[in-house]
């Protein structure tokens, strides 16, 4: 029986961008259901002794990543523009997405895709509430009440719990894909393999 796949991502994660842009079509083609799981890498990196993105700490790896991402986006026909600064604080975007998913709203997937495109396709700042409000408005979502729901205590706690769950599942980076049998796949490079595993 085909397993549903959990798609774990952080809005500040560079390789989560191509994964978010192509997972819906790839999963539809594979006949696999996907649940979007925004979480925060920050606390997970902190537990590994890092106070920012490893791409900022390890400079050769960071330089490589930007060139690799540029080539990757070129091959996928995705717009690419390196955002400044990097990494950006993804807390508010994650809270908004999670509030929407938890409420069973129809807009969160499109919101996530639009946030990724704004940041990595257009170089916009996603740590600016104005950017996120503008995206919500495009999808016909009332931004004032949505921001209020995102910043409510119960939703803050929900994001903390989501991040703790990611850590307990063994997730150490993003994007990551998990499924009920316990298999974990890490990285945009593993998306197709994760979907194939779900169909075994």
Contact residue for a second copy among 103, 160, 193, 199 (CB under 8 A): 193
Q: How far, CA to CA in Å, does 176 sit from each of 14, 64, 105, 196?
A: 13, 20, 23, 15
Spatial distance between the Cα atoms of 37 and 23, rounded to a whole number of angstroms: 13
Q: Any contact of residue 199 with a second copy (CB under 8 A)?
A: no
- Maximum distance among all Cα pairs of the chain, rounded to whole angstroms: 44
Segment interacting with a second copy (CB under 8 A) among 23-31, 65-73, 128-136, 140-148 = 65-73
Contact residue for a second copy among 63, 82, 160, 199 (CB under 8 A): 63
Taking alpha carbons only, the member of 112, 105, 95 closest to residue 154 is 95
Q: Any contact of residue 132 with a second copy (CB under 8 A)?
A: no
Spatial distance between the Cα atoms of 34 and 23, rounded to a whole number of angstroms: 8
Segment interacting with a second copy (CB under 8 A) among 11-19, 20-28, 129-137, 184-192 = 184-192
Scan residues 72-91 and list those touching a second copy (CB under 8 A).
Answer: 75
Taking the CB of residue 28, how many other CB atoms lie within 10 A of it?
11
What tokens does 191 get?
Answer: 């998306």
Q: Any contact of residue 48 with a second copy (CB under 8 A)?
A: yes
Contact residue for a second copy among 185, 191, 195, 198 (CB under 8 A): 185
Scan residues 141-180 and list those touching a second copy (CB under 8 A).
Answer: 170-173
């Amino acid at each position: 029986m085909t397993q549903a796949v959990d798609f774990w991502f952080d809005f500040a994660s560079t390789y989560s961008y191509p994964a978010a842009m192509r997972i819906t079509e790839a999963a539809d083609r594979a006949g696999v259901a996907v649940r979007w799981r925004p979480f925060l890498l920050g606390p997970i990196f902190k537990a590994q002794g890092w106070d920012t993105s490893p791409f900022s700490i390890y400079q050769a790896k960071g330089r490589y990543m930007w060139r690799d991402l540029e080539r990757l986006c070129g091959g996928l026909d995705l717009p690419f523009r390196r955002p400044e600064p990097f990494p950006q604080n993804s807390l508010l975007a994650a809270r908004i997405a999670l509030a929407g998913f938890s409420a069973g709203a129809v807009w969160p997937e499109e919101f996530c895709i639009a946030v990724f495109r704004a940041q990595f396709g257009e170089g916009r700042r996603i740590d600016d509430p104005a950017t996120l409000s503008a995206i919500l408005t495009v999808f016909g979502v009332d931004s004032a009440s949505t921001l209020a729901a995102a910043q409510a205590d119960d939703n803050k706690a929900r994001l903390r719990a989501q991040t703790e769950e990611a850590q307990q599942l063994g997730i150490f980076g993003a994007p990551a894909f998990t499924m009920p049998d316990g298999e974990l796949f890490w990285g945009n490079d593993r998306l197709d393999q994760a979907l194939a595993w779900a169909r075994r």
